[in-house]
Amino acid sequence: MSRTSTGRTLSTAEERRDTVLRTAVRAFAARGYYGTTTTEVAKAAGISQAYLYRLFPDKQALFVAVVDHCSALIRQCHADGAASAGSADPEAVLAAMARSYGALIDDRDLLVVLLHAACAASEPAIGDAIRTCYAKQVEYVRAASGASDEQIRRFFGDGLLANIMTSVGAPAIDAPWARTLAPRPA
């Protein structure tokens, strides 16, 4: 933050960019890439659309930045989980990462944005961003856990199922199908 000669505090462009990304996660989660306008994002962020375009050249660049932002949050979540593991055993590290991820997706906006990104992957830049997101996650999990390919596949399979179950509100449903698919405590 910088101060003006009158003592007023101003946000730097980078701070404003971070605020816009957090706001854009909520906006894109609500209506998806195709259903969300930059006008809506700018209004929710409390900035003009012109300023939004100074930060991001177009809607696609904004959405790609949102996917990258979500990827960084997941990466940090996995790092926090790995750091909290009580053992270097790959299963213990993966379990700690899964617990950390479970807490992260309690805020379902992040995971819904990633689901929207997968649906909009036919847009080349968005497809590249979501593939890069998953590639980074897999390689980080591999390096941090020492897990085998099969263990990593199961970890991500369980995580993707947790995404779907959370996004459809299944944890609040007391029904046989929801109990069957519910994540197992790690």
CB count, 10 Å around CB of 151? Answer: 17
Tell me what pLDDT residue 5 has. 47
Q: What does the alpha-carbon distance between residue 165 and residue 99 come to, in Å, rounded to a whole number?
A: 15
Residue 179 falls within a domain, yes or no? no
Residue-by-residue pLDDT tens, the chain, 186 positions: 445 445 555 568 788 899 999 999 999 999 999 999 999 999 999 999 999 999 999 999 999 999 999 999 999 999 999 999 999 999 999 999 999 998 898 888 998 999 999 999 999 999 999 999 999 999 999 999 999 999 999 999 999 998 888 888 888 999 999 989 886 655
Radius of gyration of the chain from its Cα atoms, rounded to whole angstroms: 19
3-state SS, residue 10: strand
Tell me what pLDDT residue 94 has. 97
| Number of independent structural domains in the chain | 1
Residue 5 falls within a domain, yes or no? no
Tell me what pLDDT residue 4 has. 46
Structural domain harbouring 108 = 10-169
Residue 10 pairs in a beta bridge with 2
Residue 89 falls within a domain, yes or no? yes
pTM of the full predicted structure?
0.87
Provide the CATH number for the domain around residue 112: 1.10.357.10
Residue 162 falls within a domain, yes or no? yes
Residue 60 falls within a domain, yes or no? yes
Do residues 26 and 44 touch, judged by C-beta distance below 8 A?
yes
Residue 3 falls within a domain, yes or no? no
What is the Cβ-side half-sphere exposure of residue 137, based on CA atoms within 13 angstroms?
A: 28
Residue 4 falls within a domain, yes or no? no
Residue 176 falls within a domain, yes or no? no
